[in-house]
Structures are given as C-alpha cells and as structure tokens.
C-alpha cells in the first residue's frame, strides 16, 4: 500500500471519540498540561471535526478545477494544522489572536507581477506563528519576508520544473545509502572549498553527520533533517542548492506560506489569476501547477505524520 493511501486510511482512526479522547489525554500528559483528562474530553470532538473537515477540503480539491484548488487546499491544510495544534495546546483557541492566518501578502499586485518574485511576511500573531512555535520552537521567523521562488526551490519534487523551465539546479541528491558526494560541481555551485562546505553543513545540519570518506557525507535517514529535504515518491534525501534563512524552515511551513499566497490570489486577484490560467504567458503557470500537484499529495502526508508520531 502506498504512503499516500496509508495516511488517508490513518486519519479515519481518529473518527472515534473514545480513541481521540485517549490520544489527546496522552498528548496532554506528555506536555504536563493540567486537567489532562477533562481537557481531552472537551477537545476530542473539535479535534475529530478539524480532521474530518480537512479531509473533505482535500478530497474536494482533488476533483475541482485548477482555479479553485488553492483555496480548497489551503483550508484543508489549516484544518489539519488546527487539529495538530490542539494536541499541543489544550486551550486552543485561547484568544482571538491565534485565529488569524499569521501571514500576509501584498494586497495589490503591481504591473508586470510575477508570482515567483512575490513575497509573504510572517506576522507576530496567528495560526502560522502559533503552530511553528508549538511544533518547531521557531520564533525568529516573525517579521521575516520570504520570496515565493526561495520557498519553492526548497521542495525536492519541484527540482525538475526549475531545471527544465529556468535552467536552475535546486537540489543535490543523496544516494540510496543516504550518502552525498562532495564533488567539484557541488562545491562550485556553493562557491566554497571542501573545508568551508563541511563547516557550513556541520553548523546548519541538526543531524549527526558521518564523513565516511574525505569527500563523502552520510546522514541517518529522516524525512526532514534541516537543511536536508526529502522527496516523497523517490524516498530519497536532497540538499537544497540555495543558501539563506529559508533552509531552516520546516517544509510544512513552506507549504503553508505558498498555499496562503496562492489562495489569496485565487480569491482576490481574480483578473491576474484567470489570465494566468488562460494565457499561460510565462513560467509561473507550470511551476504553480506542479506545486499544486505536489502539495495535494505531500502536504497532508507531512502533517498527518506529525500526528502519527505522537501515537
């Protein structure tokens, strides 16, 4: 059975109030929450409904026209995130500040607008920052602006699209033994000597690095050891070829930011969005459609794996 099918089957285990209550109680006891049993009873139905609604949005997105997909995918995504937040914060939503999306985009698109050059900004309050703080203890991203292209090139499944359309190499791949060859093309791409590159990885990577040869790096397999990324279908690891703050952002937050921006465009920038879909004048269209295909499968897998790891 494929990983894609497995995670949709897994979500149905939580459509039992008794099981969800016991699961939430275990989560709350683990974080030392007071009144864990009472809170688990209070939250088991909201938790179940978030997951149910999230699945409905995703299933509807799969059969809907491309013009509607970003909106449906984004709402499915945030419903899953709310379910995950409820496992870490028994008081959610304690205040109205956590109800906002937590990220903003440019309201009016300028002339000659290009999606790849567009930016989103992380807000202090809202679901994005609350989720990132609870799950990943990421606080330094508040106030940061991220360009769409810088986010998209962090997703391994999009490497071929960037290579074909923009002649841009975005990933360096590990082999089936989780080994990365530190060769001249890689060092040239990063503009580093071998020693400097090793120092860079040792400082950036959270995983235990194993230099099995002077020019060969091996890492323990994990679906995300930043800045190393993971390809869903190939089940292989990759090192992004970009060096900036985006490399420290978990991929679930990258999908959130891109989906938010696309959903806002589909809702409020109707003229640009429909023209893009009809005229397809530049690389924005194939890259956006490739991302939508990837996120439809990969994003719920990444989110539901967070829940699976809590069992």
Q: What is the b/e burial string over 290-309, where b = at least 16 CB atoms within 10 angstroms of the residue's CB?
A: bbbebbbbbbbbbbbbbbee
Burial 192-204 (b: 16+ CB within 10 A, else e): beeeebbeebeee
Mean of pLDDT values over 200-208: 82
Q: pLDDT tens digits for 206-244?
A: 777 888 888 898 988 877 788 999 999 999 999 999 888
Could you report the per-residue pLDDT of 255-297, keeping only the tens digit for each? 999 999 999 999 999 888 999 999 988 899 999 999 999 999 9
Q: Is the peptide bond before 227 cis (omega within 30 degrees of 0)?
A: yes
The answer to whether 157 and 235 have CB atoms below 8 angstroms apart is no
pLDDT at 1: 45
96 pLDDT above the threshold of 90: no
Lookup result for tokens 């567009």: 118
The lowest-confidence range among 55-69, 221-235, 246-260 is 221-235
Query: Across residues 105-119, what is the average pLDDT?
Result: 80
Q: Report the residue count for the chain.
A: 311
Half-sphere exposure in the Cβ direction for 164 (13 Å, CA)? 9
Q: Which of 21-35, 37-51, 107-121, 171-185 has the lowest mean pLDDT?
A: 107-121
> Does position 310 have pLDDT exceeding 60, yes or no?
yes
What are the residue ranges spanned by the domains of the chain? Answer: 3-154+248-308, 157-241
Kindly write down the DSSP assignment for every residue of 188-251, as one continuous string. HHHT--HHHHHHHHHHH--S--EEEETTEEE----S-BTTBEEETTTTEEEEES--SGGGGS-H
The whole-number pLDDT of residue 220 equals 84
Q: pTM here? A: 0.94
pLDDT tier at 110, thresholds 50, 70, 90: low
pLDDT per residue as tens digits for the range 2-37: 666 677 888 899 999 999 999 999 999 999 999 999
- Whether the pLDDT of residue 126 is over 50: the answer is yes
Quote the mean pLDDT of the chain. Answer: 91
């Amino acid at each position: 059975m494929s990983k894609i099918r497995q995670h949709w089957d897994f979500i149905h285990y939580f459509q039992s109030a008794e099981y969800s209550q016991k699961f939430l109680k275990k989560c709350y006891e683990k974080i030392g929450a007071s009144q864990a049993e009472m809170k688990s009873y209070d939250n088991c139905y909201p938790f179940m409904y978030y997951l149910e609604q999230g699945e409905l949005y995703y299933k509807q997105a799969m059969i809907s026209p491309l013009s509607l997909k970003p909106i449906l995918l984004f709402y499915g995504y945030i419903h899953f995130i709310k379910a995950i937040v409820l496992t870490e914060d028994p008081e959610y939503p304690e205040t109205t500040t956590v109800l906002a999306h937590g990220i903003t985009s440019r309201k009016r698109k300028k002339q000659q607008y290009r999606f790849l050059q567009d930016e989103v900004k992380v807000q202090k309050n809202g679901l994005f920052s609350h989720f990132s703080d609870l799950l990943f203890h990421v606080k330094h991203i508040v106030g940061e602006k991220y360009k769409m292209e810088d986010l998209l090139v962090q997703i391994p499944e999009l490497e071929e699209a960037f290579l074909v359309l923009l002649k841009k190499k975005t990933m360096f791949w590990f082999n089936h033994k989780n080994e990365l060859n530190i060769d001249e093309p890689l060092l040239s791409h990063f503009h580093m000597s071998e020693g400097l590159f090793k120092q860079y990885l040792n400082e950036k990577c959270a995983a235990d690095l194993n230099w099995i040869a002077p020019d060969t790096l091996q890492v323990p397999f994990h679906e995300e050891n930043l800045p190393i990324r993971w390809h869903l279908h190939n089940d292989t690891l990759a090192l992004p070829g970009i060096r900036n703050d985006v490399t420290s952002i978990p991929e679930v937050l990258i999908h959130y930011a891109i989906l938010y921006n696309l959903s806002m465009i589909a809702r409020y920038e109707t003229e640009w969005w429909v023209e893009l879909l009809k005229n397809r004048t530049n690389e924005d269209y194939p890259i956006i459609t490739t991302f939508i295909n990837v996120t439809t499968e990969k994003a719920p897998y990444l989110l539901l794996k967070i829940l699976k790891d809590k069992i």
